[in-house]
Each structure stands twice: as C-alpha cells, then as structure tokens.
Structure 1
C-alpha cells in the first residue's frame, strides 16, 4: 500500500495524500487475506494548534482520514481535542466550540464518529500541563456536547488520580473504543518531582519522572474489574491493546513478547 499516515506538518507540507481506489482495493485484499478487521482509524494531532496554517493542515488530513474510514466501512476515527498553550483552559474551550463542531458534522455526514482519546498529552505544553483538553470527565461532558465520542484509556486516568472504574458506567453510551494500556507509578519519584513530573526533561518532552506506560498486566490498572464492569454493563465496543511499554519495546522480538503478555492478561477476561 502506498504510504498514508501522518503528514509532515513542519514547513506546512500538503496535508497528506488521499486514499485512492488502488489503496482501497489493496487494503481490502490484505484484510481478506489475513482475516483482520479495522476497529478505528487514527490521526492524533492538535486540532487547536496555535498556528492557523498548521491547524488547517491538521483539519484537512483529519477529513482525509474520515473519508477513508467511510470508504472502508470503519465507523470511527480517533484524534485529540488538543490545546493552544497560549490560552487558558476556558479560552480554549470557547475556541473549540467555534471550530470543532464542523469536524463532527463532516464525520456525521459520512456515518463516522470522531472518538477523542483522554490522553493528557502533557508534552505538548511547555510547562507540562495538559495539552489535550479531554483528560477528565468534566471535559468529556463538554466535548460530548459538541458531538464527540470517547476512546477510553484507563492508564491516563490512573496517573492523574481518577479511578477508571468510576468513569465507565456514567459515560458508557459515549465509549465506542477502548485502549488497553497500563501504567506503572513510582510514588517515591513523585515525592521529588511533584504531580506534573520532571522539569528538566533533557530534550525529551515525554520524560515524566514518576510514571511510565506498560502493557496490560504490568501496571496499576485492575483489568479483571475493568473488563468485568464492561461485561456487566453490556459494552459492545472494541478493546484494543496500545503498546507503549519501554521494557517490551525497541525490537520486533520485544514488541511481540509485550503483545503476548497483554494477550495472556486480557484473553481469559474477554474470551468466552
């Protein structure tokens, strides 16, 4: 398949290439041959980017992803709300209310839901504050009012002090996709760096100082109770492993082993 992914935003290159008839045919043949299905397409960028040209480039490519999802019969596309770090949270919400509904309408006209991941994206903010304004149930309710849905990820909730189990039932009708990712916490390091994490990141905006993401089963998330709660409430959406584990990453062999660990953790809970 020809390359179809994140466009180069720096320098404002054209916002990605369109998904062609040949791409569609090749994709369908690949899925048929492997027995795989696509649960969701994804373009996780900052839809409130402070630079107008970059923001427009992002919007254009997100629409390309929505068009592609519609062609392939995929019912959702994932992205972030984002944030303009020059503005307060409330100012960003007012800006979002002006510019985001058009994306929801565009997707809805094509039978596609836009799902927002509740990732904090602290690396997008120069001071380590949330760079994606969808990190808490309070903000979920705001974005649901704009027509968005939720790509629920318990790992982010855990490190910011929210009990993931308590967020399932109230918002079940808006959770259409779930990311199975765990998080390992280091309270002793938090006592040194504080809640917002390490200040001197050594050039790595994602250096946290006191938490790291793990595959399911190697962190703090209570997967037995999470999956049981989903079963109890009749959740019918996708549970998709997101592999960002630094221990089981770096080589194809380690990545495969990380996925095996995730499978061993989750399969007894989800398979009949």
Structure 2
C-alpha cells in the first residue's frame, strides 16, 4: 500500500508549498482536483491541455519531490439540468484528454444527479420508493439521463485506456454498492469504484462488507473517515445542516482514527488486500475540527501504522 493526498486538503497553499508538505509527510502520490466541486487550487486544466511546457513543469515539480499522480479528479455534476451539466460534461471529457497527456491511468469522479423529470430545474436524489412517483422518477433518471451520459463516456475512456473510479457519494445516482453495479452492469468494467468509507459510514453501512461485495471493481481508494455523533441518537443519520460548525450535527467527516478506530482502519486495509487492492490510499481531508496540517498528518500516521502492521501479519 502507498499513501497519497488529494491536494485540495492543502488548498490554501501554492502548488510548490503543497507538494513540499506532501513530500515532508513521506507521502508518495497526489490526486489533483481539476474543477467541478473542486476549486482546482493547484492546476489549471485549460493551461495543461494547451501547453506542453506547463505539463513538463508540473512533471518536473513532482519528480523533484519523488511524487507521482495517482488520479485526476473531475467530480462534478455532469447530469445537472442547468448550465452546470454541460460545463461538467466538458470537464469530464477534457480530463480524459489530460490523463492521456500526463500518462495518468485513473480518473476519479461522481456519477452525477439529474432532475427528477424533463421539466424539473434541480437535481433530485431518490432514496425511497414511496410515494410511488419516486420509482417513476428514478427510472426516468437512469434511462433518460444517467445511461445516455455514461455509455458513451465509458467507451471514450476505454478507447484511451483509462479507468473511471466512481465515488459512491450521497445525493448522487451512484451512492452505494447496489447503485454502482447498476451502472457497471450497463456500461462495463472500464467503470470501477473510488472507495471512500466515509460516505458509507454516515449512511449506516459497513466498509468491510462493502469491500468484500465490490471486490476487484475497486480501482482507487480515498482515506477519509466519518464520526457518528450523539445527535444521531435523536435525529438519525440524515442531516441537511452545513458541515460547519461541526457541533450539533448527526455526523462529521474526520481525519483517520477519529471516527473509525485505528484497528478498524487496519481491518479496512486488510479487506482491501484480500480483494486484490494493494495500491494508493489517497487522503481526502475534510476534517473541519482540526487545522489541515494536523488533520492530514494524523491521517497519514494512522495509515502508515496500519500498513506496517498489515505487512507484519502478511510476512
């Protein structure tokens, strides 16, 4: 196993300082956000697509620090019924082009979420079969919006030899194992999973069971954790409050070991290895209770300990 960082976690730092921080923590890989829901704080996709000199400069900065790119991240909502949809669709296809130019194999993104019908103006996440029109809305979403985007996009990725790593995220059409396989069965194995335990945890799932079910369809992994708070005993896990302030929420994203115990992360690493994943764990820091350097360092230390312990048990 190797440890990397989604550089949005150090979004307040310029690129060179960010990479220096990553290297100083002993990490070996970075994942760059290119737009969509990322502010793309470190790279400009338009510049990198247009300029070989800019690409060479980026490669040089990485090489000087012994770093590699684990994935490019273009998570956005390409299925949005408004102007966001076409913009994020362009971003997704541009990311395929940039991945080829940078010789990066994996692209992390989300499935997207369309409206609930042709006349709706906003995305609609269907999480219940009742009232019964919800089932009609869900079928319309998949047949008229989800698959019409994903079938040609998966073919385009396959033609370029890229692997698409879909993050199972709330308020997306693909948010759990069942919805992922609905997509994969329709478009083929070019599409796999960016496995992020934190989302499954706040929805009440079990990472170990999900890893076993997903098997070799896991193409990339995010190191992110969630902590279920005491408020969940009163209100349950559905919580529309903003992620800050963290007090009073039913759950919060936290650095590794602050939600799932360290031994739980060791179990997650072992489960990943059992299904054949022995690659990068890319820390995605969204812990708003700690300063970013402390949160990232905590996650890195937790992963490093678990990797060392896992190696001992395998030898």
TM over 0.5: yes
Question: Which residue does 1:194 correspond to in 2?
Answer: 236
Match of 1:12 in 2: none
Match of 1:219 among 259, 271, 280: 259
Q: 2:173 aligns with which of 123, 126, 133?
A: 133
Please state whether the residue corresponding to 1:213 is helix, strand or coil: strand
Tell me whether 1:115 sits opposite 2:157 in the alignment: no
What per-residue deviation string (whole Å, max 9, x for no partner) do you get for residues 122-153 of structure 1? xxxxxxxxx21111111011121223210001
Alignment of 1:118-267 (within 5 A): 118-120=168-170, 131-145=171-185, 146-147=187-188, 148-186=191-229, 188-198=230-240, 201=241, 209-220=249-260, 222-248=264-290, 254-267=291-304
**Partners of 2:104 and 2:193 in 1: how far apart?**
16
Please report how far the alpha carbon of residue 7 of structure 1 lies from its aligned counterpart in structure 2 after TM superposition.
Answer: 6.5
Instruction: Structure 2: give runs of 5+ residues left out of the alignment.
Output: 1-14, 16-32, 38-43, 118-136
Give the distance between the partners of 1:21 and 1:207, measured in 2 at CA: 47
Q: With the length of structure 2 as denominator, give the TM-score of the two structures.
A: 0.71
CA distance in structure 2 between the aligned counterparts of 1:26 and 1:162, rounded to whole angstroms: 43
Shift of 1:169: 2.2
Go from structure 1 to structure 2 and tell me whether the alpha carbon gap of 1:236 and 1:105 turns closer, same or farther (over 3 Å shift): same
Aligned to 1:89: 138
Is the Cα–Cα contact under 8 Å of residues 43 and 65 in structure 1 kept in the other structure? Answer: yes
Which residue in 1 is equivalent to 2:25? none
Contact 2:169 2:176 in 1 (8 A): no
Distance 1:203 1:31, change over 3 A: closer
Q: Distance in 2 between matches of 1:203 and 1:236?
A: 32
5+ residue gaps, structure 1, are 9-14, 121-130, 249-253
RMSD: 2.7
1:223 and 1:203 map into 2 onto residues whose CA distance is: 23
Kept in 1: contact 2:237–2:251 (CA 8 A): no
For residue 115 of structure 1, report the CA deviation from its aligned partner. 1.0
Distance 1:259 1:101, change over 3 A: same
Paired residue total: 246
Structure 2 CA distance for aligned equivalents of residues 79 and 97 of structure 1: 15
Structure 1 residue 207, shift from structure 2 partner: 10
Find the aligned partners of 1:22 and 1:207 in 2 and give their Cα distance: 47
Larger relative contact order, structure 1 or 2 (CA cutoff 8 Å, min sep 6): 2
- 1:172-212 CA-partner distances (Å, limit 9, x unpaired): 211010111111111x41244333224xx4798x9993000
CA distance in 2, matches of 1:190, 1:196: 8
Deviation string, structure 1 residues 216-259 (Cα, Å, up to 9, x no partner): 111036201111222333323321111100112xxxxx212112
CA displacement 1:102-131 (0-9 Å, x = unmatched): 1111111111111111121xxxxxxxxxx2
* Alpha-carbon distance in structure 1 between the residues aligned to 2:174 and 2:247: 21
